[in-house]
Amino acid sequence: MMNAIAIFNNKGGVGKTTLLCNLASYLQKRLGEKVLVIDADPQCNTTTYVLDEEQFINVYYEPTEFTIADIIPPLEDGNGYITQFDAIRSTHFGFDLIPGNPKFASCEDFLASEWKDVKSSDLRGIKSTMLFIHFLTLCSKYDYVLFDMGPSLGAINRSILLASDYFITPMSTDVFSLLALENIGTSILNWSKAFNKGIDGMEDSKRKSIESLKNACDIRFLGYVEQQYIMKTVGETKRAVKAYETILKKIPDEIQEKIILPINGDERSDIEYKIGSIPNFYSLVPMSQTAHKPIFDLTNGDGVVGAHYQKVKDYEKLMKEIVNQTLRNMEILK
């Protein structure tokens, strides 16, 4: 059974793309899962991260590949959904990719204008809003489909979240990430209610055209990953420096109030919502970006020397823990 997971935070600069690409690569390369990543962020950071030079040229300079922007024109022209797509296999990350496209930003206005028709149970608006729900029906050969998303509460992200089974929120360790949490929980809750109400209000004759699709938003919060803090060693124990530690201590309660309760309801004692904690890995991140390889696969040929080797091992250990906790939470929430 395919699971759709959105990696979402409406605040930018939280390390979302690095987390998503390494998590997806670990699922594919270490666990043998079949993974598709959809770069739905018009900034295309995932695409530039995971494609090598030749693949990048084929997408942007000598366009021959399918991109995320290709799903929109048939809808705008009134011809309905696409019926097939071809993904790219990332050379080093291993997973399949639907590349991003800056032109995809232009569909924000189209999807926003269609949303008003969802609220009035109009078929056209509902079908347009369900474009990712339909797209996921074409992805049945995959075990996991992961969405990279821009840092916004716009119409594109709304359609993705309505289609997804779960979402994960990367958190940078700063007060602005804490402040952004309320918008996440409130927005997803309101969108879900409006979408489900719109579906419920449809005439039976019109409902038939979408009855093969998922007819309700039931997205669940899988957890969060705290990132980008600096560690120090106290005795034999590593811990975040005080300025970061103060913020880290506030995250669980804020997550509980602003996201878990609105989206998942009463907290379950058998779920650990902190699925991971990744301190600053400094030069390994740009090294990974330059090599177009996951951090846990970096080698001497990519610039790894000395203490870097241990850091690469440390990162793989953290990624293993994050993936395992994510899978445990999914099993509980099914």
SS3 of residue 296 by DSSP: helix
Q: What single letter denotes the amino acid at residue 293? A: K
Q: What is the DSSP letter of 65?
A: S
Question: How many angstroms separate the Cα of 150 from the Cα of each of 78, 100, 155, 206, 265?
Answer: 26, 11, 11, 33, 26
pLDDT of residue 232: 56
CA angle 257, 259, 260 (to 5 degrees): 80
Q: What single letter denotes the amino acid at residue 95? A: F
| φ/ψ bin of 306: left (φ > 0), alpha (ψ from -120 to 50), beta (otherwise) | left
> What are the helix and strand counts (H, E) for the chain?
13, 10
* Rounded CA separation 238/240 (Å): 7
pLDDT of residue 136: 97
| Exposure of 212 in the CB half-sphere (CA atoms within 13 A) | 6
Residue 242 and residue 230 in contact, taking contact as beta carbons nearer than 8 Å: no
* Rounded CA separation 28/145 (Å): 11
Which helix (H) or strand (E) covers residue 274, if one does?
Answer: strand 274-278
Domains of the chain plus CATH, in order, are 3-333 (3.40.50.300)
Environment class of residue 56 by beta-carbon count within 10 Å: exposed (0-12), middle (13-18) or buried (19+)?
Answer: middle
Consecutive 10-residue averages of pLDDT for the chain (334 residues): 95 89 98 98 96 89 88 88 94 97 93 94 94 97 97 96 97 81 93 95 89 91 82 56 74 92 82 91 92 97 94 96 97 92
pLDDT of residue 20: 97
pLDDT of residue 190: 96
